[in-house]
Amino acid sequence: MRRSEEKALIIGAGPAGLATASLLRRLDAIVFEEHREPGVPPHCTGLVGHGTMLFYKELAGPRVVEQRYNTITYHVYGEKPLTLRWEKPVAYRLKRPLLEQRLRDRAEKLGHRVETGTRIRRAWSRGVEDDGGRSYRGLVVDAEGALNRIAVAHGQERNRHIYGVQRIIGYDGEENHIHVFFTPLTPRFFAWLVPLGGGEALLGYAEEKPGLIDKAVVKHVSREMGIGEPRVKAMYGGLIPVNPPGRPVSRGVYFIGDSASMLKPFTGGGLYAISRLASPLAKALEEARPEIYIEAAEKLLAQLRREHRAVNMIRLIGYHRAMKLFTRLAENGLEVSAEDYDQHQRVATKALILLLKKPWILLLPRHRAGPANTPQDPSRET
Ligand SMILES: Cc1cc2nc3c(=O)[nH]c(=O)nc-3n(C[C@H](O)[C@H](O)[C@H](O)COP(=O)(O)OP(=O)(O)OC[C@H]3O[C@@H](n4cnc5c(N)ncnc54)[C@H](O)[C@@H]3O)c2cc1C
């Protein structure tokens, strides 16, 4: 039964806001979205691990899971590429903005309102005000995404960002095979090539000042892949927060998703934390007990904060240098499983144990990349 006197006011119709609304059964919600259509313009690659995929598939239906990948090649600058292949998919691609559309349908079927073209300019602990000066009373959830203006007014840290840039290009390589590129061009992140199926792929990268390196990254990826100058069909991008997660509840407002930087720090994946936190948040709102959400969120956020500390060190030395160690370990017994996709701390722990057992791995030489080594060449695979 709904508590008719109460409402949830959710700022932002991204995955965080819409997943939360579509889990609310005992409380009415209004989701405010400044754009005309949720999820448009797009920015995200949509890659997630198995558990995260199951969460969104359950909520939004099987069609949002567009692609499965069981092979990843790591191209580390100056080294022979390393290809890891799994029997089952290790990563999935969720189709956005179909994800937002399906979550919106579900929320509306439950009786919630999604107010598109409505920008919230101000929020307080028990209400919000839109750009037209209309105010609404209720429990406030800030799911405004990476540019967290409202969050800052409620005591959260202003997000620091890197910029992700993606191109849809023509591509006829293996459809279940992701490539990631670690080079001095993107020392604080990496570049990627993710097949979309149907003769297309996403070629993307993220860095602090993408304009300066854009052409060089595209050239590097094309050369590594042996694909010539890519045929670009579309281009888009967005902000990826790089600061540690903030608080789940601050000054009476609930936070979920990028608005409080709840991302996996190494890859910038935000869909994972949302999948873990939307249910406890919905429960806390329905029962008007913030402690339910705070307890669930703090467990996950403590983990993400630890990962942040490790990733900050990696950023200092450069992703491309840190990944040299990873490829050596992976060639010498480090087992990376499908579950590790969303749980990077598991890889770190396994790496540490392996290094304690076999410290001489650090001294092993690796073959440097040669021009004959193309990713399609199986002789490159280990
Ligand atoms: C290039 C790139 C690639 C990425 N790839 C991946 C990936 O492969 N896997 C992964 O897990 N994550 C990825 N991410 C991150 C992922 O996209 C985000 O973590 C995720 O979208 C966060 O969801 P959200 O709902 O918190 O925010 P958003 O998706 O940003 O949604 C926030 C919504 O709030 C609206 N809004 C903002 N302010 C207001 C306001 N004042 N009033 C009304 N509406 C407002 C916005 O218009 C937006 O629709 C990527 C990000 C980028 C930039």
Q: Ligand 1, closest atom to CA 130?
A: 42
Confidence of residue 347 (pLDDT cuts 50, 70, 90): confident
- Among 93, 144, 277, name the best residue to mutate to test ligand 1's pocket (greatest count of ligand atoms within 8 A of Cβ): 144
Q: Ligand 1, closest atom to CA 240?
A: 53
Q: Whose CA is nearest to atom 31 of ligand 1?
A: 14
- Among 45, 93, 104, name the best residue to mutate to test ligand 1's pocket (greatest count of ligand atoms within 8 A of Cβ): 45
Which two three-digit tokens encode residue 195? 């097949």
Cα 2 to averaged position of ligand 1 atoms, centre (Å): 29
Burial of residue 321 (number of CB atoms within 10 Å: 0-12, 13-18, 19+): middle
Q: How far apart, in Å, do the first and last CA atoms of the chain sit?
A: 57
pTM above 0.85, yes or no: yes
Cα 116 to averaged position of ligand 1 atoms, centre (Å): 16
Q: Residues 174-202: pLDDT tens digits?
A: 999 999 999 999 999 999 999 999 999 99
Q: What is the CA radius of gyration of the chain?
A: 21
Is the bond preceding residue 97 a cis peptide, omega within 30 degrees? Answer: yes
Which two three-digit tokens encode residue 160? 């620091």
Q: Whose CA is nearest to atom 53 of ligand 1?
A: 238
For residue 189, report the phi and psi dihedrals to the nearest 5 degrees.
-165, -145
Cα 359 to averaged position of ligand 1 atoms, centre (Å): 41
Which two three-digit tokens encode residue 18? 């819409």
Give the pLDDT score at 345: 83
Distance of CA 100 to the CA centre of its chain: 15
C-beta of residue 259 within 8 angstroms of C-beta of residue 151:
yes
Domains of the chain: 7-41+96-159+244-310 (3.50.50.60)
Percent of the chain with pLDDT over 90: 80
CA distance 285 to 287: 5
Cα 259 to averaged position of ligand 1 atoms, centre (Å): 9
Q: Whose CA is nearest to atom 50 of ligand 1?
A: 44
Establish how many alpha carbons lie within 13 A of residue 246's alpha carbon, considering only the half-sphere containing its beta carbon. 28
Residue 4 pLDDT exceeds 80: no
Calculate the average pLDDT of the chain: 92
Give the pLDDT score at 364: 76
Q: Residues 327-343: pLDDT tens digits?
A: 888 888 888 888 888 88
- Identity (one letter) of the amino acid at 143? A
Ligand 1 environment, Cβ below 6 A: 11-17, 32-35, 38, 43-48, 119-120, 143-146, 164, 166, 204, 237-240, 257-259, 263, 268-272
